[in-house]
Structure 1
Amino acid sequence: MQIRDCTKREVFSVATATTLDEAAQVLVEKHVGLLPVTDEAQRLVGIFGHSEILALFLPACVNLIDDLDFVHDFGALEEVSMSPEMRTRQVSDFMREPISVEETTGLLRAYTMMLQHRLHDLPVVRPNGTLVGIVSRVDIGTAFLTERETDPLSRLEIA
């Protein structure tokens, strides 16, 4: 089975010039965790999500600490809000490099990419990079399990 078979075609995306405030609104209102960022031709140029917004509020040193069990409260950091200047900055300033798969990619290959890049959602593109949809871990798991139920050869036991 290919990833195109379980891709959600209705996908919320933003342009590179979208402000941080506008992108945050889309994330909240549409209840999504990742927004593909596209250019004028609808080609995927980046990804932006909750992780990028939350990273703005965490001190850089948090990544250097191996064990956060002793930190019970982040104190004043919990009360920080975005400045008006930050809200008007463009998504292109904060987006990550695009991580995607083409429509013909197999389910397990796509899932492996999600694990490697710690993504729960993965944009799906055509060979020219045009965004066609998005797929989640749940979509892949459901498709994989459904295929196994209907395919007699897949019932072979793996030892």
Structure 2
Amino acid sequence: MNVTTCMKRHVVSIPASTTIREAAAIFVKKHIGLLPVVDKNDKPIGVIGIRDLLKLEMPDFVNFVLDVDFVHDFGAVEDTRPPAATLNKTVRSLMRPVITVEEDCGLLRAYSLMLQQNLHDIPVVSKDGKLIGIASRVDIGVTILKSWEKAE
């Protein structure tokens, strides 16, 4: 089995010119966690995740503390929002390099790559590099587990 058996085919993607504010609105409206950033030929050039946006609001000290159990309340920073200047920047300033799999990639290979790279979702591309879907760890895992039902 390959990733096309379980990928989501209706993928929301954005151009690099999309603002961070616009990307945030898409995450909210579509209730998704990852947006592939594509060029004019629909080829992925990066990704931006909801985690990337939420990092804009996290206090700096969170990156330096191994255990935040002692922090019961983030106090004043709880209600802060990124400044308009940040929200009006394009996603190009935040996007990460994209890791993709081709449509004929096997499920275990895709899942292994996702584990190694700590990815929850992975864009799927056609042989010519165009975005055709997105697969999650859950999509792949459920498909593998379903195949166990047929095992003797």
Partner of 1:31: 31
What corresponds to 1:21 in structure 2? 21
Aligned residues: 152
CA shift, 1:93, in A, is: 0.6
Q: Which residue of 2 aligns with 1:129?
A: 129
What is the distance in 2 between the residues matched to 1:40 and 1:14?
Answer: 10
**Cα distance between partner residues in 2 of 1:134 and 1:12:** 9
Distance 1:117 1:32 in 2: 20
Structure 1: state its 5+ residue gaps: none
The percentage of aligned residue pairs carrying the same residue is 47
- Alignment TM-score, normalising by the size of structure 2: 0.92
Question: Matched residues in 2 for 1:77 and 1:105: separation?
Answer: 44
> CA separation in 1, counterparts of 2:105 and 2:34?
20
In 2, distance between residues paired with 1:118 and 1:57?
22
Cα shift at 1:59:
3.2
| Aligned alpha-carbon RMSD (Å) | 1.4
Which has the larger displacement, 29-38 or 83-92? Answer: 83-92
Indicate the SS of the match to 1:72: coil
- 2:80 pairs with 1:84: no
Summarize the alignment of residues 62-77 of structure 1 with structure 2, pairs less than 5 Å apart: 62-77=62-77
Tell me whether 1:51 sits opposite 2:51 in the alignment.
yes
Q: Unaligned regions of 5+ residues in structure 2, if any?
A: none
**TM-score between the two structures when normalised by the length of structure 1:** 0.88
**Tell me, what secondary structure is at the counterpart of 2:134?**
strand
